[in-house]
Chain A
Amino acid sequence: MMQTMIRLAEFVFNNALLLSVILVAAPFFMFHMKQLFQELLLNKKLDIKKRVMRNLERIPFHYSRWFLQKRIVVIILPFVVVAAIFLAATWNPIHFEHHLASIESEEDIRKVHEDFHERFYDFHILEAESQATDASIMRSLRMKNPKLHTGIDTVAHNGEYIFSMASRGIEITAVDGNDLDYHGYLDYEDTKKDELYHQHGIFVDKDRLVVLGSATEDISPVGATSEAYCEEEVSTVVRIYDINDDISLEDTYRMSGKVTDAAYENGVLSLVTKQYLPFGYEAFRLGDSLPWIARGDDTPLIQSYDSIHYIERVEPNSFISFHAIDLERESHDFRTLLMDYQSEVRIMDNAFYIAANHYRFHKITDGMRLSDPVESIDTSLTKFRVDTFGMVRHQVTLSLPGALAFPNGLQVADGRILLLTRNEDNHTLFKLEKSLTHATLEHELPSHIYVEDLFYHDGIAYLSCDTENAHETRLYAITTHNIELLSIHEGILLTEAMIPRTGTPLFITLEKLDKESLAFHAHHYDSRENRVVTMDTLAVSVGDYKFNIIDRFPVEKEIHMDSDFRIVIPLYAFTTPSTQDSRYPSVLFIHLDEEGQLHPPESLNMRGVLHGRNPYSYRFVEMDDYVYHVTPRGITVSTEVEGEKKIVSEIVFP
């Protein structure tokens, strides 16, 4: 009952304008209807009266033209108005324009936001509800780790030094063959007081080390007790160090918003920052939230309103800025979109690809709020490219049928773009060239899959997904010749490889068979038979290698194929019987022969020196004949001695 009352109140609240129109029109309608019936009745009675009186001059009662033309029109006018609204609702003449629309002022942004959200019925009466939603989104955005695309990782080297990310700085180790020399720890001395700094990725560009991070500054007013949106301001920080002689800070860039995607290609650092706009807070001031960038101690350059654009019908709830920092030219440029914070962004060949849901509303929502105002959802795909002068330019925006499949519905690889959309009946996989001028419908997939990840390699798309019936992640391949999902195997995709002799694409999956055994599978797609063929399976008893439990599967960047076609796989394991000190990381080297067959692995235990760092991460750096295994705790060097993998030196960070 209470719920019904609240819903009723919300309906009234959300549709106040329409209801007031109806309330005003209804008395007029009632009045005119009453007049009409009275008129008809009186004239009918008059007619009968005359006939009773045997009126010889009697003219039979009839509806005069005047009556029909004027009276009825006036009476049914309210009906006509309401009918017109509903007729309009069934006919949707919206033509989407996929170009970028311009914004001139703060007023424009608020109008765009209101135009979008006022269609939704779930506009809460209580400000607290929308504030809670805003706070939750902002918190999740702050906590989310950015996606590091091409060129950026947690470990980098220039042949002389290996730089690896630690908790608050960079560990620097000088390397020369198997000689390791701890060079020092790079701390961020320029970090402000009351500022919490998180580093996300590093890379080396010739004589420069570039560190990407984000800073969260506590800006809550003194004495503030409640959690308010303005308590924390997140900014993205890029530090550029000269590593030619001594390591010194050369330049810094600081920009508003949390970095969500980053890539370093062709001398240009491409960054995407997102700033959620908490319109639910009364105290929120849009003018104070305009994107900005500051270089060194320069005055911040604030994005002007007329440099901000938006894509029509995409939820306008945040500023997404696309930055390009040209390290050679020492220049910077950025563009900003008013956009959905849930947009998927990928960076490839110095271009940003942004996919977001593109809503098509019922026409009736132009004047009325509905709990479900959405008639259909398309996916908008936009491309910004960094031109030869380092300027960020909008290139194209297009729309494809179906809502964007979250997460990872957008994938870029090999100069192509894969876009996975979904609707009620199926998923559709589109393949686009990077110019976005042409989209081809590749496959229609069942609707009951839940895509966890999407890979693309040599014309084959791999989907890691759940199905309704089996709540286990399975890997599927889709080819240009096949419209069905080709089930590869249970387990996860470890890495992509190739058969050394033929160069045929190969992919390796890892399956956990039971507590004490693993299986590695090598697959390839046979285009003649149009199916995925498992070429070889290698079962590994973890007991043989003193492994018992694998805490987690390795992530993509931790898997490598070295120059000798050995797949290097880090595993975090512990010996039996399990004791506090028996946990250690280990590395498997699985050899792939000329025909693509898997051979029993060699293993290297990290001798226990790399314990105790959480989260554990592993990177593999290959220089000359040496392999450097880098973890947050230290570096282990291995090489082949008399045909056998051996650890030749190691260093533990202080």
Chain B
Amino acid sequence: MFKLKAPKESRTRLRNKLKIIDSKEYEFVVTTDKEYVEDDKINIVFHEEDAQRVNRILNLIAQGEDVYIVGHSPRGMKRIESRRIHYFVVEEEEVSAVVRDGRFRVRMKLYEIEEMLKNKHFIRVSKYAIVNINKIDYIKPAFNSKLVLHMRNGDQVEVNRRYYKTFKKTLKL
């Protein structure tokens, strides 16, 4: 997403301040020197003393626009911010959105959700589940080319063999 470009002597310092991990396929160039500007990218040129503010801006850019999902529970209907959702799962032919301490029924098809959240770090892991990469706590390989995802709320979601390669590819930078 981002690439930090700065003179050697200040690069590490800036990286620590801005908490930037360089991506191979980046859209944004973050630099303190105009000479590093790239024409075909979005360039953020700043003075080092503004690093804290730039950090907040970078967070906003990374989070992107909020997407909300409408969820239903016995207590009623609720708009749930997508980044709060751990995963979506199909249970008894109905799609549920699982959050930290509960679940909501979602009246959408799973492929519709996948399409909607494809730029929000959600990934299809099986025919029945889409998970939020940010909510994965630990990945444990299982037998038969499968993975078990330990989610932050304690649930476990299985990465199906069919989606195994896609999942691994998504994790690549």
Seen from chain A, the residues whose Cβ lies within 8 Å of a Cβ on chain B are: 35, 38-39, 42-43, 45-46, 48-59, 64
Contacts and interface: CB of A to CB of B under 8 A. Distances in A.
Contacts of A56: 59, 63
A43 B139 CA distance: 6
Contacts of B1: 52-54
Interface of B: 1-2, 19, 21, 23, 58-59, 62-63, 121, 133-134, 136-141, 147, 152, 168, 170-173
Contact of A57 (B58, B134, B138, B147): B134
Given A46-B133, A52-B23, A53-B62, A39 B173 contact: no
Contact of A59 (B137, B147, B172): B137
B134 A64 contact: no
B136 A45 contact: no
B134 A48 contact: no
B163 to A, nearest CB: 14
Nearest to A61: B138
B147 A42 contact: yes
22 contacts: A35-B141, A42-B168, A43-B138, A43-B139, A45-B171, A45-B172, A45-B173, A46-B136, A48-B21, A52-B2, A52-B23, A52-B173, A53-B1, A53-B121, A54-B19, A54-B58, A54-B63, A56-B59, A56-B63, A57-B152, A58-B134, A64-B138
Contacts, number: 54
Contacts of A43: 138-139
Contacts of B140: 39
Nearest to A50: B134
A38 to B, nearest CB: 5
A39 B147 CA distance: 9
A14 B58 CA distance: 68
A92 B173 CA distance: 55
A51 B19 contact: yes
B139 A53 contact: no
A42 B19 CA distance: 21
Given A42-B147, A54-B62, A58-B134, A49 B173 contact: yes
A49 B133 contact: yes
Nearest to B2: A52
Given A38-B141, A43-B138, A53 B133 contact: yes
Given A39-B140, A45-B172, A49-B171, 11 more contacts: A42-B141, A46-B136, A48-B21, A49-B170, A52-B21, A53-B62, A54-B58, A54-B63, A55-B134, A57-B152, A59-B137
A56 B56 CA distance: 11
B59 A50 contact: no
Nearest to B167: A42
Contacts of B173: 45, 48-49, 52
A651 B114 CA distance: 126
Given A38-B141, A51-B19, A46 B63 contact: no
A386 B170 CA distance: 90
Contacts of A58: 134
A283 B133 CA distance: 73
Contacts of A49: 133, 170-171, 173
Question: Which of B23, B134, B170 is packed against the most chain A CB atoms within 10 Å?
Answer: B134
Nearest to A43: B139
Contacts of B172: 45
Contact of A46 (B2, B58, B171): B171
Contacts of B134: 50, 53, 55, 57-58
A33 B171 CA distance: 21
Contacts of B62: 53-54
Contacts of B2: 52
A251 B141 CA distance: 86
A56 B23 CA distance: 18
Going nearest first, the 8 A-B pairs with the smallest beta carbon separation are A54-B62, A45-B171, A42-B139, A52-B21, A55-B134, A51-B21, A38-B141, A35-B141
B168 to A, nearest CB: 7
B101 to A, nearest CB: 15
A42 B173 CA distance: 12
A46 B19 contact: no
Contacts of B170: 49
A7 B59 CA distance: 68
Question: Which of B19, B59, B140 is packed against the most chain A CB atoms within 10 Å?
Answer: B140
A35 B145 CA distance: 10
Given A39-B139, A42-B147, A50 B133 contact: yes
A49 B134 CA distance: 9
B143 to A, nearest CB: 9
Contacts of B136: 46
Contacts of A55: 134
Nearest to B62: A54
Contacts of A39: 139-141
Nearest to A34: B141
Given A42-B139, A43-B138, A45-B171, A54 B133 contact: no
Contacts of A51: 19, 21
Contacts of A46: 133, 136, 139, 171
A44 to B, nearest CB: 9
A513 to B, nearest CB: 90
A38 B143 CA distance: 12
A50 B83 CA distance: 13
A49 B173 CA distance: 7
A53 B1 CA distance: 8
A353 to B, nearest CB: 67
Contacts of B58: 54
B134 to A, nearest CB: 5
Contacts of A42: 139, 141, 147, 168, 171
Contacts of B19: 51, 54
A68 to B, nearest CB: 13
A43 B137 CA distance: 9
Question: Which of A42, A54, A59 is packed against the most chain B CB atoms within 10 Å?
Answer: A54
Nearest to A35: B141
A183 to B, nearest CB: 96
Contacts of A50: 133-134
A49 B132 CA distance: 12
Contacts of B168: 42
A70 to B, nearest CB: 11
A287 to B, nearest CB: 53
Nearest to B83: A57
Contacts of B152: 57, 59
A51 B173 CA distance: 11
A58 B19 CA distance: 12
A42 B171 CA distance: 8
A39 B1 CA distance: 25
Contacts of A38: 141
A56 B81 CA distance: 15
Contacts of B23: 52
Contacts of A35: 141
B139 to A, nearest CB: 4
A49 B23 CA distance: 10
A161 to B, nearest CB: 94
B171 A54 contact: no
Question: Which of A45, A48, A53, A58 is packed against the most chain B CB atoms within 10 Å?
Answer: A53
B173 to A, nearest CB: 6
A58 B21 CA distance: 14
A58 B133 CA distance: 11
B1 to A, nearest CB: 6
